[in-house]
Amino acid sequence: MDVPSSVKDKAEGVEAELEQLQKENAALRLMLQVMRNKYKMLSEAYFRESNSQVPTICRGLTRFDLCEDQHSHKNILIPQLQLAANSSQVFVETDPRDESHIVKDGFQWRKYGQKVTKHNPFPRAYFRCSMAPGCPVKKKVQRCMEDKNFLMVTYEGQHNHEVNPSIGQSLSSPSSSATTSISGFPNSVLDNPLRSAIDLDLNLSSENSSSNGNGNGNDDDYNNKRSMEDHIAVGT
DNA sequence: CGTCTTTGACCAGCGC
DNA sequence: GCGCTGGTCAAAGACG
Structure confidence by residue, pLDDT tens digits, A194-231: 343 333 333 333 334 333 433 343 444 444 444 444 44
Which residues, other chains included, contact A104 with Cβ-Cβ below 8 Å and sequence gap of 6+?
A: A168, A170, A171, A172, A178, A180, A181, A182, A183
> Which of the listed residues A129, A156, A183 is the one where a domain comes to its end?
A156
Structure confidence by residue, pLDDT tens digits, A126-145: 998 888 777 888 889 888 87
Is A190 a member of any domain?
no
The CA–C1' separation of A55 and C3, in angstroms, is: 30
Q: What is the pLDDT of residue A6?
A: 74
Is A168 a member of any domain?
no
Q: In CATH, what number is assigned to the domain containing residue A104?
A: 2.20.25.80
Does strand C come within 7 Å of the CB of A126?
yes
Structure confidence by residue, pLDDT tens digits, A37-94: 666 666 656 555 554 443 333 333 333 343 444 444 444 444 444 445 566 777 777 7
For residue A110, give its domain range.
87-156
Which residues, other chains included, contact A215 with Cβ-Cβ below 8 Å and sequence gap of 6+?
A: A209
Do A146 and A100 have their domain in common? yes
Nearest nucleotide (C1') to the CA of residue A128? C8
pLDDT of residue A179 exceeding 80: no
The CA–C1' separation of A174 and C15, in angstroms, is: 10
Which residues, other chains included, contact A187 with Cβ-Cβ below 8 Å and sequence gap of 6+?
A: A106, A162, A163, A165, A168
> Which of the listed residues A109, A128, A156 is the one where a domain comes to its end?
A156
pLDDT of residue A115 exceeding 60: yes
Does strand B come within 7 Å of the CB of A236?
no
The CA–C1' separation of A153 and B2, in angstroms, is: 29
Does strand B come within 7 Å of the CB of A118?
no
Q: What is the pLDDT of residue A33?
A: 67
Is A203 a member of any domain?
no
Is A29 a member of any domain?
yes
Do A47 and A93 have their domain in common? no
Is A45 a member of any domain?
yes
Do A93 and A143 have their domain in common? yes
Across A22-36, A159-173, A212-226, the highest mean pLDDT is recorded for A22-36
Do A42 and A98 have their domain in common? no
Pairwise CA distance, residues A166 & A105, whole Å: 12
Does strand C come within 7 Å of the CB of A84?
no
Do A151 and A91 have their domain in common? yes
Q: What is the pLDDT of residue A104?
A: 65
Is A192 a member of any domain?
no
Is A3 a member of any domain?
no
**Residues A81 and A88 sit within 8 Å (Cβ to Cβ):** yes
Is A64 a member of any domain?
no
Range name among A19-28, A32-41, A80-89, A113-122 with the lowest pLDDT average: A80-89
Does strand B come within 7 Å of the CB of A175?
yes
Does strand C come within 7 Å of the CB of A138?
yes
> Which of the listed residues A156, A175, A198 is the one where a domain comes to its end?
A156
Q: What is the pLDDT of residue A162?
A: 67
Number of structural domains chain A divides into: 2
Does strand C come within 7 Å of the CB of A119?
yes
Bridge partner list, A130: none
Range 17-36, chain A: CB under 7 Å to any strand B atom: none
Reported as a pLDDT band with limits 50, 70 and 90, residue A24 is confident
DSSP secondary structure of A125-142? EEEEE-SSTT---EEEEE
Q: Over range A171-177, report the average pLDDT.
A: 34
